[in-house]
Structure 1
Amino acid sequence: MDTRTVATADPPVLRPRERQLSEFTELARTVQESGLMRRRLGWYWTQFAVLTVGLLATFTAFVLVGHSWWQLVVAALLALLLGQAMFLGHDAAHRQIFASGRWNDWGSLVIANLYAGMSYGWWQHKHSRHHAKPNQVGADPDIEMDVLRFHNEDERRPSTGLARWFRERQGWFFFPLLLLEGLNLHVSGVKTIFGRGPVKRRPVEIAFVTLRLGGHLALVFWLLPFGMAVAFLAVQLALFGLYMGMVFAPNHKGMPIVPRDSKIDFLRRQVLMSRNIRGGRLTDVAMGGLNYQIEHHLFPSMPRPNLRQVQPLVRDFCRAHGIHYTEVSAARSYRTVVQYLNRVGLGARDPFDCPITAQYRVAR
């Protein structure tokens, strides 16, 4: 009998980036084998049917209420339903609903453009850039300088006078400013589809958005007195913008800002820059599944109802590999956003600067 031992080769020594790629590959394989990437057509068709019935019921209520200030309640309900429509359009844009990319595109066009009056093409281009490099300066459009300052990476000169006073308190103005976000979203989309922006099906988008917005305005001003019509539209747009902002803001605002010259692997980029919101089934519905922001960023094509199920798997994987996983209550996330924006406005060093991002800074 041959008693000689067989020498075994040592496992290969992986470089840091190879090891990081291997980590996400391991996680992705586990998720794929769990079956949670499978389509949930029945769930999505039910959501679409419920949304359609809800919008028809709201339209009926609008006609029946007539010349009454109770129309402002109808406007509030419409704002919430349109928010739900945008969540469904968001899912289609991420290829969560159908296996066919064409079907998902048309689903987004119908839901976003025809139901909500938003431009799917404008939003998709902007949102895709955000998903690729969340919170990275110069890459993520959601942290570009506008009315508010989300970071101090590109600071050229300090604000003075009234502008400085506003910057130092901008966190307190964040949520009131969201009352204008609904109008801003519509205007940005219209400017894109009628301009030279990246729009795949421009004629379809123009037709759908014109029909939706034109028909909506015509109906409101035809049925209601002028002052009441203006109030109805103001309440609807203000609450729609506030709703969208309160859902999307907690996901990344106040998380580490990634410098322009940093290179981070996909797994850590998506986990470290995202924040989950703790809650139950009601939170899932109210936030359209975006309370599972980490899981959504790691697996953007995963059907929304499966995100709750995959969360424990992802959380345990991050814990086992020493990757910080952030999950807080909605109240704490909103407080963090306000505090962060005020600190940025004061010109302080990013208080949420993550030491891990510094490891990936590349010398120019």
Structure 2
Amino acid sequence: MGKGGEKGEEEGECEKMLALYSWQEIQKHNSKTDKWLVIDRKVYNVTNWALKHPGGIRVISHFAGEDATEAFQAFHPDLHFVRKFMKPLLIGELAPGEPSHDREKRAELIEDFQALRKTAEDMKLFETNMVFFSLYLGHLFVLEFLGWLTLSYFGTGWIPTLLTALILATSQGASGNWWNHRHFQHHAKPNIFHKDPDVNMLKVFVLGDTQPVEFGKQKIKYLPYNYQHEYFFLIGPPLLIPVYFYIQIMMTMITRRDWVDLAWATTYYIRYFNTYIPFYGFFGSILFVIFVRFIESHWFVWVTQMNHIPMNIDNEKHKDWLSMQLDATCNIEQSSFNDWFSGHLNFQIEHHLFPTMPRHNYYKIAPLVKSLCDKHGLNYQVKPLLQAFKDIVGSLKKSGDLWLDAYLNK
């Protein structure tokens, strides 16, 4: 990656006397105190820079001792700008006899995916349509207005209150910086234990095929995991946002000093309380917003997990970018409702392959992604929405049964 406009910089780098390294040597530098990356055959020591990395130390550390070319390209819209910070970190390059990609990754597949990305750039699919997002923001304000209008016209009975809560639950949001910070960690190594925060279930659930067996053999039983597909309904959907995410979002905004996001959040609550205190009073408004978050959490969990929990969840396998994302994600059938209901996350495969692509362009690149998968015999999964919801519960039950079998096997 990084062809054309970066040629001058690359020529400047080549003027240095660079050491030559083998993959065997590079792969040794993958610890907390010693991190090397390979990008476009150049070797970089990012041990100290990792602490300053704008995307966080975890994302860059996930690729220590590996070829990070595809991830580097996926997460940085302006490669020319980022390379300016990389010059002091350059320590060498791959020896001439070494392949460009580590661990026997398929060169043809990687090259074809790079060509696909170039096609997407030529189609201007990474450019944001401000009209789309302006209309989307406007529709959120309309939903907030409809919530107020419902209570103004029908009063604060149970039915108007429930209807208003449903309306507001679809117009909620979170800190953009928090979302990017956490979500890029997920994108970097999706469904990989110890690297993807979204599969860190705090031992409340066991996921995939390997973790349940490991827990069972070690006689780990924090909860009766063979019933996790049932208690999921009591823990996952209702509590994720109002308890876990809400606390995490506020702490992240403060500790990372995301004052702009904090200001946006503050204006929302000022607007909210000014609107709903006249209807419910101060304490009633607090209970009402908790109820809204409770409903929103159900929507969020089902929409985000339908693409991931039923997929492969395992330890690090060091696959290429395309294969890794396809293992961890699936799409949901396209329809106007699915697009709106999921915020275009029904195109989860494209969302993962191109995390900086505006979501209104996913449907344009999707046929090309599928064609590439067909060429290389890769599984491009697309499911109906209700089947995807059902698969969440089914996969939890399967993992729970694997745990029980291993737990009882003496």
Global fold match (TM > 0.5): yes
More strand by share: 2
Q: Is the CA contact 2:105–2:319 (under 8 Å) kept in the aligned structure 1?
A: no
SS in 1 for 2:248: helix
SS in 2 for 1:252: coil
Question: In structure 2, do the counterparts of structure 1 residues 164 and 53 end up closer, same or farther at CA, with 3 Å as the change threshold?
Answer: closer
User: Using the alignment, how far apart are the partners of 1:230 and 1:43 within structure 2?
Assistant: 33
User: For the residues of structure 2 that align with 1:150 and 1:207, how far apart are their CA atoms?
Assistant: 37
After superposition, the Cα gap between the structure-2 partners of 1:226 and 1:205, relative to the gap in structure 1 and judged at 3 Å, is closer
Provide the alpha-carbon RMSD of the alignment: 2.9
Structure 1 segment 77-88 matched on structure 2, within 5 A: 77-82=167-172
- How far did residue 321 of structure 1 move? 1.1
CA distance in structure 2 between the aligned counterparts of 1:246 and 1:297, rounded to whole angstroms:
18
Partners of 2:325 and 2:352 within 8 A in 1:
yes
Q: Would the alpha carbon gap of residues 314 and 189 (structure 1) be closer, same or farther in structure 2, given more than 3 Å must change?
A: same
Identify if the C-alpha distance between structure 1 residues 231 and 139 changes in structure 2 by more than 3 Å, giving closer, same or farther.
same
The range that moved more, 262-271 or 185-194, is 185-194
Q: Which residue of 1 aligns with 2:232?
A: 174
2:232 alignment partner AA: F
Match of 1:41 among 122, 130, 136: 130
Q: Any gaps of 5 or more consecutive residues in structure 2? A: 1-98, 406-410
C-alpha spacing 1:227/1:55, structure 2 compared with 1 (3 Å): closer
Correspondence for 1:127: 183
Q: For the Cα contact (< 8 Å) 2:307–2:331, is it kept in 1?
A: yes
Q: Which residue of 1 aligns with 2:377?
A: 322
The counterpart of 2:143, out of the listed 54, 57, 71, is 54
**Which of residues 71, 80, 88 is equivalent to 2:161?**
71
Q: What is the aligned counterpart of 2:207 among 143, 150, 162?
A: 150
Q: TM-score, normalised by structure 2?
A: 0.65
Pairwise mapping of residues 79-228 of structure 1 onto structure 2 (< 5 A)? 79-82=169-172, 116=173, 118-146=174-202, 147-151=204-208, 152-153=210-211, 155=215, 157-160=218-221, 163-165=222-224, 167-177=225-235, 178-184=237-243, 185-194=245-254, 196=255, 199=256, 201-213=257-269, 216-217=272-273, 220-224=276-280
Shift of the alpha carbon at 1:191? 2.6
1:334 equivalenced with 2:386 (yes/no): no
Aligned length: 296
Secondary structure of residue in 2 paired with 1:169: helix
Q: CA deviation at 1:259?
A: 1.1
Task: Report the CA distance shift for 1:145/1:158 in structure 2 as closer, same or farther (over 3 A).
Answer: farther
- With normalisation by structure 1, the TM-score equals 0.72
Q: Deviations over 1:270-299 (max 9, x none)?
A: 122111011312211111110011111111
Q: In 2, Cα distance between the equivalents of 1:213 and 1:265? A: 43
Whether contact under 8 Å (1:193, 1:202) holds in the other structure is yes
Q: 1:175 to 1:33 in 2, by over 3 A?
A: farther
Deviation at 1:349, TM superposition (A): 10
Does the aligned pair in 2 maintain the 1:144–1:150 contact within 8 Å? no
Which amino acid is the alignment partner of residue 219 of structure 2?
Answer: P
| Partners of 2:175 and 2:265 within 8 A in 1 | yes
Q: State the match for 1:107 in structure 2.
A: none
Choose between structure 1 and 2 for higher RCO, CA contacts under 8 A separated by at least 6 residues. 1
* 1:27 partner amino acid: L
Unaligned runs of 5+ in 1: 1-12, 83-115, 351-364
Give the aligned partner of residue 282 of structure 1: 337
Give the 3 Å change call, closer, same or farther, for CA 39–216 of structure 1 in structure 2: closer
8 Å contact from structure 2 (residues 240, 301) kept in 1: yes
Question: Within 1, Cα distance between the matches of 2:148 and 2:293?
Answer: 16
